[in-house]
Amino acid sequence: MSPGKSPETGEPVKRRYPQSPIASVAVCVLNGQRILVAKRANPPSQGLWSVPGGMVELGETLQEAARREINEECGIRIEVGEIFNVENLIVPDEKGRIQFHYIITYLVAHYTSGEARPDSDALDVRWATPQELNNLDMHPVVRKNMLKAFEIGRSSG
């Protein structure tokens, strides 16, 4: 995830205890019968496997954000497909204050070139089959959306 900037101040967007929800993309990159997964280096869900993606920057479409984030975070190029789901991630702290609030748009994409490698936002990246997803430590909502991306990929390919 690249550091988004506030249009008013030019300062990095405050991800923890934000002033408003943060628009983000989760890009389910398919490569044959495999999907790209990234082990998160930062909260929320630090240390868990997830869909790579990140914040949408001011003036950027969801598709542009998907291409940029996958290239920055994983070093590959993609062809962006359809939007297939939108999820809310709202994480309160122990006092009930909103620590994280993301509106996550899930998109399907297809790998076109490059070698997948992690950047500073990911501890690791790898390609996984649908069966392997069941053995990876990830949030159930993430797994559900990855499996849905496989269904979409099969029906459109």
| pLDDT tens-digit series, residues 92-109 | 999 999 999 999 999 999
Residue 140 is classified by DSSP as H
The domain ranges of the chain are 22-156
pLDDT, position 1: 39
Q: Which residues contact 150 (CB under 8 A, 6 or more apart)?
A: 30, 35, 130
Residues 14, 124, 100: CA angle, nearest 5 degrees: 25
Buried b (16+ CB within 10 A) or exposed e, 116-131: bebbebbeebebbeee
54 within 8 A of 93, measured Cβ to Cβ: no
User: pLDDT digits over 79-94, tens only?
Assistant: 999 999 999 999 999 9
Q: Give the pLDDT band of residue 15 (cuts 50, 70, 90).
A: confident
User: pLDDT digits over 30-73, tens only?
Assistant: 999 999 999 999 888 899 999 999 999 999 999 999 999 999 99
Residue 8 has pLDDT above 70, yes or no: no
CATH topology of domain 22-156: Nucleoside Triphosphate Pyrophosphohydrolase (3.90.79)
pLDDT, position 155: 77
The structure's pTM equals 0.88
